[in-house]
Amino acid sequence: MDAVEREAYIGLGTNLGDREAALREAIRLLDAAEGVRVLRVSPVYETDPVGFTDQPAFLNMAAAVGTTLSPEGLLALCLDIEKRMGRVRTVRWGPRPIDLDVLAYDGVRMETERLTLPHPRLAERAFALMPLRDVWPADRAFPWADAPALREPDGVRPWETREEFWAFWKKGEKEADGNVEDRRR
């Protein structure tokens, strides 16, 4: 692990079961992980499936996290959370109880067998770009501002506001853990 906290961006999606609860649990697990703290979350969007289209609509969102994990360590954590939440990879782009993708990591550009940063198909996916733009720091230019997917965000609809999601998530934390300290901004 690095000693320096860096900002990274996670895309989250789900289209099976209680979709809101799945997003809330994934955010809770990210925030509870050693070396990670959730800084900001986007509003939730309902999106039409892409690729394999014969499946239910997704709920998608993004989270900005502060992390001391390496990019590969953050990916390993995301894959572990998916597994813990019941994800089994059978059909590419198929239905899933949860999906966590490392979209970007502190300006890092890399390509390995397991991880490409920024995410290789990010500029094509309005369902990832719209929530990512929502959590991007206001004082930094959004690198994908001119992406065609943002100009014509077909199949992406607002689900609920960021404040409603935070209230929903915090309510769930309090039910599970008692009165927790609010570390978010």
Instruction: Single out the catalytic residue among 96, 154, 157, 184.
Output: 96
Q: Which of 24, 28, 40, 87 is catalytic?
A: 87
Q: How far apart are alpha carbons 171 and 87 in whole angstroms?
A: 25
HSE-CB at 136 with a 13 A cutoff on CA atoms is 17
Q: Provide the 3-class DSSP secondary structure of residue 134.
A: helix
Evaluate whether 46 touches 57 at the Cβ level (below 8 Å).
yes
Q: Is 19 a catalytic residue?
A: no
Distance CA 37, CA 41 (A): 11
Q: Are 35 and 68 in contact (CB under 8 A)?
A: yes
99 a catalytic residue: yes
> Is-catalytic flag, 96?
yes
Contact status, residue 173 vs residue 62, Cβ threshold 8 Å: no
Which of 70, 63, 85, 51 has its CA nearest to residue 115?
70
- The catalytic residue among 28, 31, 99, 125 is 99
3-state class (DSSP) for residue 159: strand
Catalytic residue among 31, 40, 101, 125: 101
Q: Just list the catalytic residues.
A: 87, 96, 99, 101
